[in-house]
Amino acid sequence: MLKGKTILIGISAGIAAYKICELVRMYKRVGANVRVMLTPNALNLVTRLTLESLSQNEVFVENFDIKEYKPEHISLCDEADILVLAPATANTISKIANGICDNLLTSTVCAFNKPIIIAPAMNTNMWNNKFVQENLQKLSDNNYYICNPESGFLACGTEGVGRLCKLETIFDKTIEVLNNNKKLQNKKIVITAGGTLEKIDPVRYISNFSSGKMGVALADVAYHMGADVTLVSTFSIEKPYNVEKVQSTIDMEKEVTKYNNNVDCIIMAAAVADYRVKDYREQKMKKTSDDEIVIQLVKNPDILKKISAEKNTTKIVGFCAESENLLENAKIKIKNKGCDYLIANDISRKDIGFSSDENEVYILDNNLNIEHIEKDSKLNIAHKILEKIFE
Ligand code: CTP
């Protein structure tokens, strides 16, 4: 949803400036054009070269360090779709709120007439300062989007409010502000993510390498498209939508079947264990003198197959992880599972799939029509999948 957008990042001199290098990468990964400007003091905390390499663009600091003649604060404004000020220090916030333009960054913010996100970060006492709060309130009252700082351990050695919010929060806010595509408003969607875990004894388990990134990307994008999202996840994650944590396949089955025929769509992106341990040991298994041991496994329910057989009003989407003969196996799998769509991906490729931020998939429908989605970030792939399913 940020593909082709130009994001202008303004960095002021807070120690959290180093974190913005990763934010640049996050925007770049989804195909955004990133421009960066810094206050002169921020340049003591993060280098121009780092930011130029990551953004693949020239970085601006001073009003007068321009190579060709053009007022940079105006041309940056024209080019950008959104301005993200992070970290925003007490000093820069207060200057902006009072119309002060004493460097390139503050001049640009003053001239910018499109959405501005502000992510403050500072020492707790500065954050609690009455004038800083009044200035921030002034910005908030004037339609600046504020990503409030979090509480935690601060670089100055104290604990309290003032730490830059998570980069995901700024990233999500950027999508939320720029994205008018609320195509999934009024849709209820349940998405599973992660690998289920089958316990052997209190200290051991069987699981798989799924990172859950594809499921989370689908949930994030569905949320940004206006859907009412529930993520059924095998790991803990904080999100602005509902997250239900499960562990085993049986847990996931119980959770997911509750929603069948009560929501518009269920997407089974989780890597579900096909087998579980037959006899769970209440006590830790001890090492014996035998060189081999046998752990018996029993078949788990096939959740996708079950909900597809019982579905009436809910659209059911499955995933298909294959390490060979991708499309042949996918065609057999969609018929066997009985779902409406199957998203096939090749897990043998190192550049996509498990743990990767990128993927390349084929979308099959139950008439065996196939659409190829070329390699892209998991967020962009998620967007295309949701567009296709709700076409
Ligand atoms: N799935 C499920 N319940 C299971 C196993 C898989 O709901 N017990 C779902 C997965 O969430 C996925 C789809 O079925 O959406 C296909 O999973 P995949 O691992 O590719 O296939 P399997 O059905 O496990 O078959 P195989 O391992 O033989 O390829």
Residue range 232-248, pLDDT digits in tens:
999 999 888 999 999 99
Q: Cis peptide before 301, with omega less than 30 degrees from 0? A: no
**In 3D, which of 163, 231, 162, 155 has the Cα closest to residue 193?**
231
Report the separation in Å between the CA atom of 385 and the middle of ligand 1, taken as the mean of its atom positions.
18
Instruction: Please classify residue 347 by burial: count the beta carbons closer than 10 Å to its beta carbon, then call 0-12 exposed, 13-18 middle and 19+ buried.
Output: middle
Instruction: Tell me if 318 CB under 6 Å of ligand 1.
Output: yes
How is residue 169 written in tokens?
Answer: 């929060």
Pairing, β 82-88 against β 242-245: unpaired
pLDDT-derived band at 72 (thresholds 50, 70, 90) equals: low
Note whether 82 and 1 are within 8 A (CB): no
What's the CA-to-centroid distance between 183 and ligand 1, angstroms? 29
pLDDT of residue 149: 96
Looking at residue 296, what is its pLDDT? 97
Q: What is the DSSP string of 87-137?
A: EEPHHHHHHHHTT---SHHHHHHHH--S-EEEEE---HHHHH-HHHHHHHH
pLDDT at residue 71 in the model: 64
Residue 259, pLDDT score: 97
- Rounded mean pLDDT, 18-22: 97
pLDDT score of 318: 98
pLDDT at 135: 97
Collect all residues with Cβ–Cβ distance below 8 Å to 168 and sequence separation of at least 6.
none
Candidate from 73-82, 99-108, 218-227 with smallest mean pLDDT: 73-82
| Residue-level pLDDT at 121 | 96
Our separate counts of H helices and E strands in the chain read 13, 20
| Range 60-85 average pLDDT | 77
User: Which whole number is the average pLDDT over 314-341?
Assistant: 96
DSSP H helices in the chain: 20-29, 48-55, 72-79, 90-97, 104-111, 124-128, 130-141, 167-178, 213-224, 249-259, 303-310, 326-337, 378-389
Compute the distance from residue 326 Cα to the ligand 1 centre, in Å.
14
pLDDT at 377: 87
Q: Report pLDDT for 184.
A: 94
The pLDDT tens digits of the residues spanning 272-292 come to 999 999 999 999 999 999 999
* Ligand 1 pocket check for 270: Cβ under 6 Å: yes
Output the pLDDT for position 53.
97
Per the model's pLDDT, the better-predicted residue between 159 and 320 turns out to be 320
Q: Which residues are catalytic?
A: 156
Using the predicted structure, report yes or no on whether residue 66 has a pLDDT greater than 80.
no
Q: What radius of gyration, in Å, describes the C-alpha atoms of the chain?
A: 25
| Residue with CA closest to ligand 1 atom 8 | 302
Distance (angstroms) between ligand 1 centre and the Cα of 309 equals 15
Rounded to whole angstroms, the Cα distance separating 361 from 375 reads 8
Mean pLDDT of 38-53: 96
Lowest pLDDT segment from 29-38, 77-86, 134-143, 149-158: 149-158
User: 336 with 343: CB under 8 angstroms?
Assistant: no
Residue 63's pLDDT is 63
26/20 Cα distance (integer angstroms): 10
Of 267, 272, 363, best ligand 1 pocket probe by most atoms within 8 Å of the beta carbon = 272
Residue 62 confidence class, pLDDT cut points 50, 70, 90: confident
What is the distance between the alpha carbons of residues 302 and 94, in angstroms, rounded to a whole number? 58
Cβ 341 under 6 angstroms from ligand 1: no
Q: Which pLDDT score, from 0 to 100, does residue 87 have? A: 98
Per-residue pLDDT, 70: 63
Instruction: Indicate the pTM of the whole model.
Output: 0.80
What pLDDT, on a 0 to 100 scale, did the predictor assign at position 261? 95
What are the φ and ψ backbone dihedral angles of 158, each rounded to 5 degrees?
A: -105, 170
Which atom of ligand 1 is closest in space to residue 270's alpha carbon?
Answer: 11
Q: Which atom of ligand 1 is nearest to the CA of 305?
A: 7
Closest ligand 1 atom to the C-alpha of 307?
Answer: 7
Report d(CA 15, CA 154) in Å as an integer: 10
Q: Is the CB of 274 under 6 A from ligand 1?
A: yes
